[in-house]
Amino acid sequence: MADARDKGNGRGVGVGMALGAGVGAAIGAATGEIAMWLAICLGLGIAFGASADAHAKRADPPAHRPEP
């Protein structure tokens, strides 16, 4: 668990949530439907963040482990 924090992995979902909430609140305030747009953009932000985390995990090569 400490290794994941040191590498900075797993931040995509948090960043996606924050951006989705901001964009959803802005669109919702402009259209008068804050609850709907907040929910839509928050869901999309979580999905894109999870996708970014998965892509970063696949792109990161595994650490070399010496054979016993």
Q: What is the pLDDT of residue 6?
A: 47
Q: How many CA atoms within 13 Å lie on the side-chain side of 28?
A: 16
Does residue 53 have a pLDDT over 60? yes
What is the 8-class DSSP label of residue 60? S
Residue partners of 14: CB distance under 8 A and separation at least 6: 49
- Work out the burial of residue 62: count CB atoms within 10 Å of its CB; fewer than 13 is exposed, 13-18 middle, 19 or more buried: exposed
**Which pLDDT value is given to residue 17?**
93
17: which 2 tokens?
A: 């949530």
pLDDT score recorded for residue 58 = 78
Express each pLDDT in 3-45 by its tens digit: 555 455 678 899 999 999 999 999 999 999 999 999 999 999 9
